[in-house]
Structure 1
Amino acid sequence: MKSNISSKARIISVVCAVALGVSLLFPLWRIDLTAPQYPEGLVLKIYPHKIGGNVEVVNGLNHYIGMRTLHTEDFIEFTILPYLIAIFALFGLLSALVKRRWFFYTWVFLFASFGVVAMIDFYRWEYDYGHNLDPNAAIVVPGMAYQPPLIGFKQLLNFGAYSFPDVGGYIFLSVGLILVITAVLEWKRAAKVSSAAILGLPLLLLLQSCNTSAEPIAFGKDQCHYCKMIISDRSFGAELITDKGKIYKFDDTHCILSFLKSGDLQQPQIAAVFLVDYAQKEKLIPAETAFLIRGDAIKGPMAGTIAAFETEASMQSFQQQWKAQQVSWNEVVSQ
């Protein structure tokens, strides 16, 4: 259906949901510190639920320059983040099950928004962490701030600070990128279907307007175009369709032949002519392929003397009964 996502999008939803679940096992971000006195470097790893790495050593350094020490319990984000990631993973699985495009778009929008909000919150934490210093610290450098970079490198005194995603973060970013690309492709696919439908509408209308299929005669209701009488005899009747799709209905062959001879329509304007099969009441058959017989014993409602049949066998049985002559539609029209 048009409102459903594609099978590829459903598979991607499941893969991304599983990937988000896996990201809970790895650190999302890391900050590496390098300095001459620490040749092997120091690292802070930010997991969804805790701060890991050389936390104690970094806290000791922070004490000297007036920065606050880091403790997992001081950040509410570490309490709610694992649940949020799990919810987004569940949302992805539901997107694959529900299959509705609006549900998938909602998931992508909320996840992308969450990623933006998370980076803003991380920047806010880094700014507060690097600027809100203890004025009574052992080392105070006037005007100096120690805000780590959001991403990339920054020199902080004799320390070089590198900030970049870790395994979980790369998973997170990859999921976000894949989902956004998939959402765009799904939107284009839906737009393409809609555009095709819109572009095809004129063609559909044209085909309908040029329709040459017979329309059933409503006996007892439809009016003969020529004599203006209600068409009632189900063994007779005729129908003419123009090249523009307009339909004219008639009581019997007498009325349609009279209309054709009137000159109201030229031959190129006539797309198709149908006659009612005498043996199969109400059934319209193409006049050019019908088996026709003409005789005085045949009594149409408007004095027509021609009966039409779909098969030669059915025609022959009535031909013997009425002692009628077989004729073709072209012969009848040309006379």
Structure 2
Amino acid sequence: MERKLSSLFRVAIFLISLAMFAVLSLPIWKIELSAPQYPEGLTLKIYADRIGGDVDIVNGLNHYIGMHTLHTRDFVEFTVLPYIIGGFAVLGLLVVLIGRRKVFYGWAFLFLLIAFTSMIDFYRWEYNYGHNLDPEAPIQVPGMAYQPPLIGFKQLLNFGAYSIPDSGGWTFVGVGIAIATLVILDWRGIRRKSRVSTVAAGLALMVFSGSLQGCSSSGPQPIQYGQDNCAFCKMTFTDRRFGGEVVTQKGKVFKFDDLHCLLGSLKAGVPARQDIGSIYLIDFVNGGWISTESALLLHSPGLHSPMGGDIAAFAGKETLDQQQYKGEIVSWKDLYH
């Protein structure tokens, strides 16, 4: 008689299916373009049902070198892929209900088939996109093709192109790892089945949690002290009491080791005011993040910040009162308006 899947195995498959539902609303892949004339860069985001990001700007650039313009309606994949992903997630729920090993293995093989076919189709699209050029294009470079990399970096004229998974893509990768782990655990047939099932359910929970994090908005990133450099002065971060980050509406993060550098970059238009999503400052007391809307700022020569801005951020009046530095309380609006 065929051994059925354990309860925790089913829980793992259920969480994997929920993660696949999340992929429907997350960007699966992104192609980032960097060039001197675009300091913030350009990004194409590929969802299950559409192309997003800086599509209009990229289409305008494509005109000059003879590449086809990008429109969601021109790709049958954006019609079919949501049904494939959603159908796979629904089948996962059926596997949970049926609970038979043979059905689970068929579902796992289907994932492998979907992943393999998707990568082949993506490569084919990139090849056609970069090679089928308009012979009447204003700019022509003999022998030059503009195929973006399948994954990784490639230089295309004065643009650097990065092709990497986005949050939905990493969720998809996590699902694949989770399914492979379930298959391996089941094959091994370890006697302590309760332990195996617990590992499987825990891994699936990590994948599902990761997909939920992908749905959340972008925020500040941890600073690697001794490694990261300030985006303005290029000095390495050393003092954990000072600094800040600007997060653009597209999620790009600019790191600064001093409020003096942060303000200098903003006043220079990097990033542009209309592109700013949020700004965070480092809490002088505990090193956490504070938004500029809620931060209390103290300007004091005794602070000795890295680049001489001598402005520290505090979470509230109670923490500011405990400090020994004498100075003037300033507002963010006074500094950047």
TM-score grouping bracket, smaller chain normalisation: 0.5 to 0.7
Alpha-carbon distance in structure 2 between the residues aligned to 1:84 and 1:114: 8
Look up the match of 2:44. Answer: 44
Alpha-carbon distance in structure 2 between the residues aligned to 1:172 and 1:51: 18
Alpha-carbon distance in structure 2 between the residues aligned to 1:192 and 1:18: 27
The alpha-carbon deviation at position 190 of structure 1 amounts to 7.9
Alignment length (residue pairs) = 193
1:169 counterpart = 2:137: no
Alpha-carbon distance in structure 1 between the residues aligned to 2:167 and 2:101: 30
Alpha-carbon distance in structure 1 between the residues aligned to 2:28 and 2:71: 17
Look up the match of 2:78. Answer: 78
Which residue identity lines up with residue 71 of structure 2 in the other structure? H
Q: Identity percentage over the alignment? A: 59
CA contact (8 A) 2:129 2:147 kept: yes
SS at match of 2:17: helix
1:18 counterpart = 2:49: no
CA contact (8 A) 2:4 2:99 kept: yes
Alpha-carbon distance in structure 1 between the residues aligned to 2:99 and 2:17: 14
Which residue identity lines up with residue 108 of structure 1 in the other structure? A
Look up the match of 1:148. Answer: 148
1:114 counterpart = 2:114: yes
Look up the match of 2:160. Answer: 160
CA contact (8 A) 2:33 2:161 kept: yes
Alpha-carbon distance in structure 1 between the residues aligned to 2:120 and 2:42: 25
Q: Within 5 Å, which residues of 2 pair with 1:120-269? A: 120-189=120-189
Residues 76-104 of structure 1 deviation map (CA, whole Å, 9 limit, x = unaligned): 00001111111000111111110000000
Residues 295-333 of structure 1 deviation map (CA, whole Å, 9 limit, x = unaligned): xxxxxxxxxxxxxxxxxxxxxxxxxxxxxxxxxxxxxxx
TM-score (norm 2): 0.56
Which residue identity lines up with residue 186 of structure 2 in the other structure? E
1:89 counterpart = 2:89: yes
CA contact (8 A) 1:6 1:186 kept: no
Question: Which consecutive residues of structure 2, in runs of 5 or more, have no partner in the other structure?
Answer: 194-337
Residues 40-73 of structure 1 deviation map (CA, whole Å, 9 limit, x = unaligned): 1000000100000000000000010000000000
Which residue identity lines up with residue 164 of structure 1 in the other structure? I
Alpha-carbon distance in structure 2 between the residues aligned to 1:64 and 1:132: 14
RMSD (Å) for aligned C-alpha atoms:
1.6
SS at match of 2:30: strand
Moved over 3 A (4+): 190-193
Which residue identity lines up with residue 179 of structure 2 in the other structure? L
SS at match of 1:86: helix
The alpha-carbon deviation at position 179 of structure 1 amounts to 0.4
The alpha-carbon deviation at position 9 of structure 1 amounts to 1.8
Alpha-carbon distance in structure 1 between the residues aligned to 2:191 and 2:140: 61
Pair 1:187–1:131, CA change in 2 (3 A) = same
CA contact (8 A) 1:2 1:190 kept: no
Which residue identity lines up with residue 140 of structure 2 in the other structure? V
Alpha-carbon distance in structure 1 between the residues aligned to 2:147 and 2:81: 23
SS at match of 2:189: helix
CA contact (8 A) 1:30 1:163 kept: yes
CA contact (8 A) 2:2 2:100 kept: no
TM-score (norm 1): 0.56
Pair 1:191–1:109, CA change in 2 (3 A) = farther
Which residue identity lines up with residue 72 of structure 2 in the other structure? T
CA contact (8 A) 1:13 1:96 kept: yes
The alpha-carbon deviation at position 3 of structure 1 amounts to 2.5
Look up the match of 1:33. Answer: 33
SS at match of 2:41: strand
The alpha-carbon deviation at position 170 of structure 1 amounts to 0.7
Residues 172-201 of structure 1 deviation map (CA, whole Å, 9 limit, x = unaligned): 1100111011112112218999xxxxxxxx
Question: Over alpha carbons, which structure has the higher Rg?
Answer: 1
Which residue identity lines up with residue 133 of structure 2 in the other structure? L
Larger RCO: Structure 1 or Structure 2 (Cα < 8 Å, ≥ 6 residues apart)?
2
Look up the match of 2:68. Answer: 68
Look up the match of 2:104. Answer: 104
The alpha-carbon deviation at position 6 of structure 1 amounts to 2.4
